[in-house]
Amino acid sequence: MTDSEPPLEATSEVPFWRQRHFVYQVLPQVVFSLSLLLTAVAVESARQRGIKEHLRLEKALADDIRDAVERRFEVNTALLSSVVGLFNASEDVERQEFQSFFREIAGTATNLRGIQGVGFSRLIPEGQLKPFLNSMRSKGRSDFRVFPEGRRQIYTTIEFLQPSDWRNERAVGYDMYSNPVRREAMKRAALTGLPSLSGRVKLLQENSDDVQAGELLYLPIFRDGSRMHVKGVFSPAGRGDAAFKDLLGWAYSPLRMADLVQAALVPIRNPYLRRASFALYDGSLATPSELLFSQSAGRVLTQQADGSGTPDLKYASFSRFNVGGRTFLLGVQLGRTSGQFWGLNAIAWITLAIGVVFSSAICGITWLLVRNHRLVLNQLTISQARNRERALAATVFEQSSYGITITDSDARLISCNQAFSQLTGYSRQELLGQNMSILKSNRHDKAFFRQLWECLQHQGRWEGEIWNRLKNGELRRHELTIKAVCNDGEQLICYVGMLHDISDRYRQEAEIRFQARHDYLTGLPNRAELIVQMDQALARAKRYGLRVALVFLDLDGFKPINDQLGHATGDRVLKTVAARLQLVIRESDTLARQGGDEFVLLIPQASDQNGLITLAHKLQEQVELPIPELEGLPLSVSIGIALFPDHAASAEQLLHLADQAMYQAKQQRQGSSGHVAIATPDAGEAMPSQRPA
């Protein structure tokens, strides 16, 4: 698509099922999809053929390897069978005789690679260990010993092992039956009379160099020269002696598996052997602990102690086979990538490339055929979308709850919505062409408007609060946002303003602040507001050397009023008392309701004590004036007075001393005489004052 073409996204404004030429719009995609589908079918066909060929080659190679390994074990079994024949021919085979025998068979064997040796392990029944050792020493083998040491019901010992090199000499005398892995194979051979392989072990002949996984091949030797098939399960604690009474021992061969498998691979002529990866495991699971041999692209891998050295056989074919009574798992993989495994050979890739190129070409031709028609349809759709946008904008403009204005660069009104007319009281006809100063409230100075216009000129936007005068003369507080609208050449077109009335919000916030600081019943300041006023009064008093008085009032007889006449009457009495007390105090004084029936009067500029006592008596008179709702119940007041700096130096102390003085006045009242007390500096006593007659 060229730069001159309109954006195709505009077509999404119209549902696709209502577009007259929808079929032409999707035709290129349909053609491309069908072409790709045909390509996919061809590629899949080639891939399936590749998979079958890959699996056939892997199976053929696996069969070759398996046959070679099996033939190798057959050779080893034949060697052990000759050892069995030796013991069948001679009742007592001597060491020298066994050495001569091994040299003879080693000379005739074509390849003994992987066979660490050929030996004989004798079965020593229980109680015959010492006689056997004495017999060995009498034959000149004074250093012969059976290891590992320890008491066991059955012993075996490697009596002969050839060739007699330093590796094999380390194993002579070893009791293989003491090892669970070796013991399982030895028992199986004795019970079945057949060749038996052990599980994966580390041969005693191994040292730290070129350590290989090992296995041992056993063939039982019986005294009567036959291969007995003893049924049942051998148990040394039960019938073991009876089951093994004719067993002389085992002909066995320790096998280094890596060498043995490599020797078995030599005759294989499969061309894929050199570049294949494969691994041989003892058992049915491909776990590192059971790995016997592995090769990757013709290179033998050495397994490390941490389990590394195992080939990556993620895409291998696995097969199982049995040799010597054990199951082996063989994994073979041709190549190192998943492509061959999934059949993605050269033919499949070429088919895919040709199909993609062909599909793209067909799609491009189809797209060119419908392009012109799509452009025409697109232009029509864009025009319709713009008309809808203008209609929607007009609807939003008129229905908005915010007052919206559009003015020219000189702030003369071009247009406004209905909400703006409702906010200001002016009709649209009255406002058109008028300067917005028609709403000027005279609450803002010239600096305010100068800052407003500077923001519009430099930032293109102004937000803030402004007072406006409505048509009826009422002043209202508004939240105003003005945005400068410019064209592509950064030239001013107009200003757009949005107006919102926030007067009610501020009034509600003021009411909330008032309620937080005043008593809800009487409207007097509460304790929190009193503390604030006291702190301010004391600060001024300290600065200018003034006296501050605190008068604490507690109504006497209010509880019976509440109890007998009800709380509603009590509330009306409190409001009446609060109103009467305010009649005798100055405007600068603060009367607060402490809570319940307690009031506190703060006098920021107090006179002497006599003047305060006179004021207290006036307050008493106001309280004791008749209240019709009391129905004859008496109501009076006890008053305590404290002065700053005469009695206290802080607001807390002043309030405490005034409270103490009030309680002192209650205690010293007599009859109907007045009860007013003034605090003393030590807060321990208060001086009572009688009302003048």
Spatial strand order of the sheet with 291-296 comes to 299-300, 291-296, 276-282, 326-334, 317-323
Contacts of 250 (CB under 8 A, 6+ apart): 120, 121, 123, 156, 186, 189, 190, 218, 219, 220, 221
Query: 105 and 233 in one domain?
Result: yes
pLDDT tens string 549-599: 999 999 988 888 888 888 898 899 999 999 999 999 999 999 999 888 999
In a domain, 235, yes or no: yes
pLDDT(337) > 80:
no
Domain that holds residue 629: 518-689
**What is the predicted pLDDT for the residue at 8?**
45
Model confidence at 427, pLDDT cuts 50, 70, 90, reads confident
Query: 669 and 527 in one domain?
Result: yes
pLDDT(6) > 50:
no
Cα gap 292→309, rounded to integer Å: 12
Query: 117 and 50 in one domain?
Result: no
Query: 326 and 292 in one domain?
Result: yes
CB 258 within 8 A of CB 280: no
pTM listed for this prediction: 0.49
Q: In CATH, what number is assigned to the domain containing residue 556?
A: 3.30.70.270
Average pLDDT over every residue of 315-322: 90
Query: 574 and 611 in one domain?
Result: yes
Q: In CATH, what number is assigned to the domain containing residue 496?
A: 3.30.450.20
Cα gap 334→479, rounded to integer Å: 78
Query: 646 and 528 in one domain?
Result: yes
Least reliable range by pLDDT among 240-244, 289-293, 443-447, 511-515: 240-244
Rounded alpha-carbon distances, angstroms, from residue 191 to 221, 245, 296, 383, 651: 12, 12, 39, 96, 107
Cα gap 468→477, rounded to integer Å: 7
Name the E strands within 425-486. Answer: 461-469, 475-486
Strand partners, 332: 278, 317
Average pLDDT over every residue of 650-661: 91
Average pLDDT over every residue of 123-138: 90
In a domain, 306, yes or no: yes
**What is the predicted pLDDT for the residue at 92?**
85
Among 476, 507, 538, the domain boundary falls at 507
Query: 498 and 634 in one domain?
Result: no
Most confident of 211-220, 258-267, 482-491: 211-220
pLDDT tens string 36-52: 888 888 888 878 888 88
Strand 636-644, strand 676-679: pairing: parallel
CB 690 within 8 A of CB 673: yes
Give ∠ CA 209-211-216 in degrees, rounded to 5.
135
Among 475, 507, 539, the domain boundary falls at 507
In a domain, 473, yes or no: yes
In a domain, 1, yes or no: no
Average pLDDT over every residue of 7-16: 50
**What is the predicted pLDDT for the residue at 16?**
54
pLDDT tens string 428-447: 888 888 888 888 888 888 88
Average pLDDT over every residue of 342-360: 80
**What is the predicted pLDDT for the residue at 20?**
55
Contacts of 193 (CB under 8 A, 6+ apart): 220, 222, 227, 228, 229, 230
In a domain, 111, yes or no: yes
pLDDT(339) > 60:
no
Phi and psi, residue 530, nearest 5°: -60, -45
CB contact burial 514-536 (16+ within 10 A = b; e otherwise): eeeebbeebebbbbebbbebbee
- DSSP annotation of 108 reads H
Query: 371 and 426 in one domain?
Result: no
**What is the predicted pLDDT for the residue at 5?**
45
Among candidate residues 598, 615, 611, the one with its CA nearest the CA of residue 522: 598
**What is the predicted pLDDT for the residue at 400?**
80
In a domain, 472, yes or no: yes
Rounded alpha-carbon distances, angstroms, from residue 21 to 93, 249, 375, 376, 382: 102, 93, 11, 11, 15
The count of residues in the chain is 693
Spatial strand order of the sheet with 548-556 comes to 590-595, 598-603, 548-556, 636-644, 676-679, 686-689
Among candidate residues 216, 137, 205, the one with its CA nearest the CA of residue 169: 205
Among 241, 262, 283, the domain boundary falls at 262
Cα gap 55→635, rounded to integer Å: 112
Cα gap 182→184, rounded to integer Å: 6
Model confidence at 157, pLDDT cuts 50, 70, 90, reads very high
Query: 498 and 596 in one domain?
Result: no
In a domain, 673, yes or no: yes
pLDDT(455) > 60:
yes
Model confidence at 71, pLDDT cuts 50, 70, 90, reads very high
Query: 237 and 205 in one domain?
Result: yes
- Which H or E element spans position 252? strand 247-256
Model confidence at 340, pLDDT cuts 50, 70, 90, reads low
Query: 126 and 164 in one domain?
Result: yes
Query: 314 and 456 in one domain?
Result: no
Tell me how many domains the chain contains: 5
Least reliable range by pLDDT among 63-67, 223-227, 518-522, 565-569: 223-227
pLDDT tens string 224-251: 765 443 333 333 333 344 457 889 999 9
Least reliable range by pLDDT among 275-279, 402-406, 431-435, 678-682: 678-682
Q: In CATH, what number is assigned to the domain containing residue 335?
A: 3.10.50
CB 678 within 8 A of CB 612: yes
In a domain, 65, yes or no: no
